[in-house]
Amino acid sequence: MKRYLLKIIYDGTNFAGWQRQKNQCSIQEIIENALKIFLKEKTSITGSGRTDANAHAFAQYAHFTTEKEIDKKIILNALNGMIKKEIRILDIFEVDKNFHARFSVKSKIYQYHICLKDFQNPFKRGYSYHFSRKIDLDLLNKAKEEFIGKHDFTSFANKGSSSKNFEKTIKRIDITKTEDGIIIEIEADGFLYKMVRNIVGTLLKIAHGKLEISDINKILLSKDRRKAPMAVPAYGLFLKKVIY
C-alpha cells in the first residue's frame, strides 16, 4: 500500500465544513467521491483537522492509501476536473506509510480576518467579519499575550470537539493591519472545536471595552465555556498553514 498526501485550498462558503456529514455537502465527501471514480475503488481521506461550515483554507492537507501507482500530473488534472470549482487540489506527495495527516502535525496556523471600517466592501463580505465598533488596538495587542503558552482551553472549546486533550500550547498571536481592518494570526500545536473563533471573540470584547484583560485568566481557570464570549462568525476564518 502506498500513502499519498493532498494539499488542498478551498472557499468554504457553500459547504458544511471539512468533515463528511449526513445529508450535507462537505469538502471531504466531494474529494472522496472524486478519488473513488479516479481510482475505481472506495477511498477515504484523513484531514489534518476539520474546519467549520463556511470557514476557508489556504492549505488543508489530507492523506489516503492505495495499492495503485499514481501519476501526479494525471491525478491533479482528473480530480480538479471532477470536483467543485470552490475546491482545488494544489499538489500531491507520496509520504511514508507511517505518516498521518492529523497525528503528524507539529503546529497549525489560522488567520481571522476582520473589517473595522464603517462600511464593508461587499466583495469581502463572505471572507471577513465586519466589526464596525471602535476598538483599542494597543489593548488588543496586550490582551493577546495572555493566551500565549500552554493552557487548558476548555472554556474556549464548543461541544463536539474531537480532541480528548484540552491542553494546547499557543506559540504566537500576531495582529497585522490591513487596508480595511486587521488579521489575527494564531499558531498553536493544536486547536479545539471553535477555539480560534472563541479567542477572537474574547479579544474583540476586551478591545471594545466590554471585558478586562484580567478576565482572560479567570475564564481559562473556570474551564467553563459559558464564561467566555460568543464565537465570531466562521466566514472570517482561514486555515493558513499546517506544519509537519
Residue whose cell numbers read 479579544: 203
The three three-digit cell numbers of residue 96, written as one number: 511514508
Q: Which of 11, 52, 96, 174 is catalytic?
A: 52
Distance of CA 141 to the CA centre of its chain: 22
Measured between alpha carbons, how far is residue 68 from residues 60, 79, 94 in Å? 23, 16, 12
The torsion region of residue 32 among left (phi > 0), alpha (psi -120 to 50) and beta comes to: alpha
For strands 167-177 and 149-152, give the pairing.
antiparallel
Residue 96 known to be catalytic: no
Residues labelled catalytic: 52
